[in-house]
Amino acid sequence: MQLQEQVTTTVWQITFHYINGQTESFNVYDLIDSGTTHQDVRQEIRRFMKEDWWAIKTLDETIFIKSANVMKVEVKPPIESIQGEGFLSEAERVTALTRGGRSI
């Protein structure tokens, strides 16, 4: 009897909120390798966020995003392996972001 290795693919939805009020979302598959340490994940995210331009490659195009035009980046589900300095891991959103009396 041969054992088959179970492979699971994790899908993260990354949403970019731009300074002009627009949003754009992407599904990213296997963002983090199973053997990656907490420190590696933290460092990789910090490196990515420091870049002037972010490149996202989809099946049919490559999108370049100027990081200076982004106000907020959301990742769902949460990346559980992020811990340490600069990260608040025990947080709960109490209110939605509002602009001019309306929820965003």
pLDDT digits (tens, 9 = 90+) for 47-74: 888 999 999 999 999 999 999 999 999 9
Q: What does the CA dihedral 67, 13, 22, 49 come to, rounded to 10 degrees?
A: -10
Which CATH number describes the domain made up of 11-103? Answer: 2.30.30
Share of the chain above pLDDT 70, in %: 77
